[in-house]
A = this chain, B = another copy of it.
Amino acid sequence: MIRVGINGYGTIGKRVADAVRDQPDMGVVGVAKTRPNYEAEQAVERGYDLYAAIEDRAHRFADAGLETAGLVDELVAQSDVVVDATPSGIGAKNCELYEEYDTPAIYQGGEDADVADVSFNARSNYDDAVGADHVRVVSCNTTGLSRLVAPLREAYGVEKVRTTLVRRGGDPGQSDRGPINDILPDPVTIPSHHGPDVQTIFPDLDIDTLGMKVPATLMHMHSVNVTLEAEPDADEVRDLLAEQSRITVVDADLGIEGTGQLKEWALDRGRPRGDLWENCLWGDSVTTDGRDFYCFQAIHQESDVVPENVDAVRAITDAADAAESVATTNDALGI
């Protein structure tokens, strides 16, 4: 059993904890949090040992009636791997702590790429992370693009990717975020950071990305163009994408018109927290025009990196090869 510590128990950390718990070959040592809140209460409720991330504030958990198992240092010391799911920028500051205890660490896509030895997407470059000390699971959008680009590159070759990412303004729980009734180029400058980030996975890929922000909270939406090196017909590409285990090709018969219905579908299927771990790609949108491929895909920003974190745990500990790991993760989660 691989002993996994989770440092940071917010949107990503709580999901990764549950996903790790559900695997046959790993377990959760505990989860670390800076302060008590409804998520900390639920961590205890779910039986996770709770560690205080900041020594000075550790007493606040007791004040709130939540028992802690110690400080984050103790969690790191006991873990074979730490998944750092702290807010963007904090992961880089935690590096030193993980090195102090010689515990390999997995960071999230909010950190700069140079926080880690390798940026990671299970479908695209699992082997690069085998035995590494510091691995960064790329962000939700980069994960979604990498999953799509990898099979297209293998099957047809990719000349250029051009993608517009229409991003949700904030997550459903982030009531301090906007916009309301506005559409913003974000950033105004082109490319957005997503293109260079995808290049951390595919260094030689020619990709331009444009970002926007809109008043929605449920998922991101990608408008994708890929100029291929071949001219496949749309049905062939759709079949190729449908074979990918972390791409759901949404059939027209389901009558799913947008992100709201995708989330309803996930909830109806009993998915924990209504999570959609896979890229949700509209089958009817798959179009080819000569060498140009187009599609729409929705990306669930809160959860698509969760299975990637689980695979990164196996890669960093050299516990399984890519195919085994992805199969085990998918099977345990019900992907």
Q: Which residues of A contact B (CB under 8 A)?
A: 160, 162, 164, 166, 168, 179, 181-186, 188-191, 208, 210, 212-221, 223, 225, 252, 257-260, 282, 284-285, 287, 289, 292, 294-296, 298
- In the bound complex, do residue A184 and residue B257 qualify as a contact, i.e. CB atoms below 8 Å apart? yes
CA separation between A84 and B220, bound complex, in Å? 39
Tell me, rounded to whole Å, the shortest Cβ–Cβ distance linking A161 to chain B.
11
Q: Which of chain B's residues have a CB closer than 8 A to the CB of A292?
A: 160, 162, 208
- In the bound complex, do residue A217 and residue B294 qualify as a contact, i.e. CB atoms below 8 Å apart? no
Partner of A260, one of B182, B282, B289: B182
CA separation between A190 and B219, bound complex, in Å? 21
- In the bound complex, do residue B298 and residue A166 qualify as a contact, i.e. CB atoms below 8 Å apart? no
- The closest CB in chain B to the CB of A190 belongs to B287
Partner of A221, one of B185, B257, B298: B185
- The closest CB in chain B to the CB of A287 belongs to B190
Partner of A162, one of B216, B225, B296: B225
- In the bound complex, do residue B214 and residue A183 qualify as a contact, i.e. CB atoms below 8 Å apart? yes
Partner of A259, one of B183, B223, B252: B183
- In the bound complex, do residue B260 and residue A219 qualify as a contact, i.e. CB atoms below 8 Å apart? no
Tell me, rounded to whole Å, the shortest Cβ–Cβ distance linking A220 to chain B.
8
Q: Given A179-B260, A258-B179, A294-B210 in contact, is the A185-B282 Cβ separation under 8 Å? A: yes
Partner of A189, one of B160, B164, B287: B287
CA separation between A285 and B184, bound complex, in Å? 12
Q: Given A162-B162, A166-B212 in contact, is the A184-B294 Cβ separation under 8 Å? A: no
CA separation between A219 and B184, bound complex, in Å? 10
CA separation between A257 and B164, bound complex, in Å? 17
Tell me, rounded to whole Å, the shortest Cβ–Cβ distance linking A285 to chain B.
5
Q: Given A162-B225, A183-B298, A216-B181 in contact, is the A188-B287 Cβ separation under 8 Å? A: no
CA separation between A160 and B160, bound complex, in Å? 14
Q: 15 interchain pairs (CB within 8 A)?
A: A164-B166, A166-B212, A168-B183, A183-B214, A184-B259, A185-B285, A188-B257, A188-B284, A189-B287, A190-B295, A191-B287, A210-B223, A212-B221, A212-B223, A212-B296
- In the bound complex, do residue A188 and residue B260 qualify as a contact, i.e. CB atoms below 8 Å apart? no
Q: Given A166-B166, A214-B215 in contact, is the A258-B185 Cβ separation under 8 Å? A: yes
CA separation between A182 and B218, bound complex, in Å? 7
